[in-house]
């Protein structure tokens, strides 16, 4: 069972990780053009816009899977 300090440390690390991930996504959106890749679906009719970033989701999923595979504890 986690003690109070262990839980606090885990929350601090998770917060720092999420902040860094947010910065990375913000920067990579400009560099890698994420969200506007070929294959992303965008339908615009009048006042309505439907957007579904299929290829961007696949690319992010592949990157996260590769990171998880590299950093797993085996």
Per-residue pLDDT of the chain (74 residues; tens, 9 = 90+): 556 778 888 889 889 988 988 888 778 767 777 778 888 999 999 999 999 989 988 988 998 898 888 878 65
Query: Alpha-carbon distance 61 to 65, whole Å?
Result: 6
Domains of the chain by residue range: 1-31, 36-74
Closest to 36 measured CA to CA, from 12, 22, 56, 17: 56
Continuous H helices in the chain: 4-31, 54-71
φ/ψ of residue 48, rounded to 5: -105, 135
CA distance 1 to 71: 24
The model's pTM is 0.56
């Amino acid at each position: 069972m986690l003690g109070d300090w262990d839980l606090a440390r885990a929350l601090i690390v998770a917060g720092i990780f999420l902040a860094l991930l947010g910065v990375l996504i913000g920067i990579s959106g400009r560099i890698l053009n994420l969200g506007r890749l070929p294959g992303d679906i965008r339908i615009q009719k009048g006042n309505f816009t439907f957007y579904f970033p299929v290829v961007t989701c696949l690319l992010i999923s592949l990157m996260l899977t590769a990171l998880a595979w590299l950093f797993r504890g085996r």
